[in-house]
């Protein structure tokens, strides 16, 4: 498995929906086509949390990948999420992703694991998925506040023994935890890409070291995030600090405000305000973002020069 192929910045795209909650395939294609035109964007994380993978059935998940592949063509790599409580369902979705044209599969931890699991349960889930597809795999390290969904060192070391693993979306959402994960991965499997994927902490994590990022904020402002990554790699701290100052207010507004489950709605609201998707609708029961939240995002987009 060639991990180097997957280094770079990926946008975790949203899944546009109509008023009735059905997937808006035309809007999805347009969203992907626009991202595919961004210079320096390596790929998409499709069917990630920002794409409401937890709310899509199996057929919808496959269709999102098919639409994304057709819209992106060969310009972007597609890392497709496999997220299900039932390991057999997750494995089936991984197989669907490969058949629909995904270049890699990201294995999301089931939400029930927040309450507890053990290493063998985690390994069984991942092995079943690994056996269902021949494409490379990405692991997902959840936020430190996500309970047992955030893997401890022993679990992470065991998962890294899977030869198909080429990368990890490191979303610990805390820089010390990110650094600890990175050190562990690089000691065990130096070739595995550690992707700094806490949207509110991109600058410090890039400075600590990364092979790229898979973040939903790049679905809204991909250019500054790509430029930030390049500035850090070039050692241009002043440029990186200036880009961070542009990125951070929007990151805080989308991910730092309570309640956190509105993050995808905030992303969609930003994209709708910018005219990039028709409606900021999320799948029920979340629904649309409250008007005061949309107005606050509009002010931030204007203040930061995004709009």
How are strands ordered across the β-sheet holding 212-215? Answer: 193-196, 165-170, 137-141, 104-107, 77-82, 41-46, 8-12, 212-215
Asked if residue 299 is part of any domain, the answer here is: no
Asked if residue 101 is part of any domain, the answer here is: yes
Q: Considering only CA atoms, which of 87, 84, 74, 76 is closest in space to residue 13?
A: 76
Asked if residue 282 is part of any domain, the answer here is: no
CATH of the domain at 70: 3.20.20.70
Asked if residue 28 is part of any domain, the answer here is: yes
Range of the domain at 120: 3-239
Asked if residue 132 is part of any domain, the answer here is: yes
Residue 143, φ and ψ in degrees, nearest 5: -65, 150
- Residue 22 and residue 187: Cα distance in Å, rounded? 45
Radius of gyration of the chain (CA): 18
pLDDT in tens, the chain (307 residues): 677 899 999 999 999 999 999 999 999 999 999 999 999 999 999 999 999 999 999 999 999 999 999 999 999 999 999 999 999 999 999 999 999 999 999 999 998 888 888 899 999 999 999 999 999 999 999 988 888 888 999 999 999 999 999 999 999 999 999 999 999 999 999 999 999 988 999 999 999 999 999 999 999 999 999 999 999 999 999 999 999 999 999 999 999 888 888 999 999 999 999 999 999 999 988 877 888 889 999 999 988 777 6
Helical ranges in the chain per DSSP H: 25-36, 58-72, 87-99, 119-130, 153-159, 175-188, 202-208, 222-234, 237-255, 263-273, 291-303
Query: Per the structure, how many domains does the chain have?
Result: 1
> What is the reported pTM?
0.95
Q: Considering only CA atoms, which of 78, 75, 77, 107 is closest in space to residue 94?
A: 107
Asked if residue 27 is part of any domain, the answer here is: yes
């Amino acid at each position: 498995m060639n991990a180097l192929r997957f280094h770079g910045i990926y946008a975790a795209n949203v899944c546009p929906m109509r008023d009735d909650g059905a997937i808006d395939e035309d809007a999805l294609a347009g969203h992907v086509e626009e991202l595919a035109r961004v210079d320096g964007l390596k790929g998409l994380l499709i069917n990630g949390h920002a794409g409401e993978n937890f709310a899509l059935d199996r057929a919808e998940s496959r269709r999102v990948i098919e639409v994304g592949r057709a819209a992106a063509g060969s310009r972007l790599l597609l890392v497709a999420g496999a997220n299900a409580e039932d390991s057999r369902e997750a494995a089936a979705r991984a197989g669907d992703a490969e058949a629909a044209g995904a270049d890699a599969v990201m294995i999301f931890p089931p939400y029930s694991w927040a309450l507890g699991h053990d290493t063998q349960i985690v390994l069984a889930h991942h092995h079943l998925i690994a056996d269902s597809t021949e494409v490379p795999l990405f692991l997902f390290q959840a936020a430190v506040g996500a309970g047992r969904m955030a893997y401890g060192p022993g679990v992470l070391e065991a998962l890294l023994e899977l030869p198909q693993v080429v990368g990890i979306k490191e979303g610990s959402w805390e820089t010390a935890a990110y650094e600890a994960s990175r050190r562990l991965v690089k000691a065990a499997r130096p070739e595995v890409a550690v992707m700094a994927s806490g949207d509110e902490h991109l600058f410090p994590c890039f400075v600590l070291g990364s092979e790229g990022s898979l973040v939903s904020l790049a679905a809204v402002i991909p250019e500054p995030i790509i430029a930030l990554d390049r500035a850090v790699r070039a050692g241009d701290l002043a440029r990186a600090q200036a880009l961070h100052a542009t990125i951070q207010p929007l990151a805080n507004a989308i991910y730092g405000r309570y309640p956190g489950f509105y993050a995808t709605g905030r992303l969609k609201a930003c994209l709708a305000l910018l005219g990039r998707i028709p409606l900021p609708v999320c799948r029920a029961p979340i629904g649309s973002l409250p008007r005061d939240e949309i107005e606050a995002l509009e002010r931030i987009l204007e203040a930061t020069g995004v709009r």
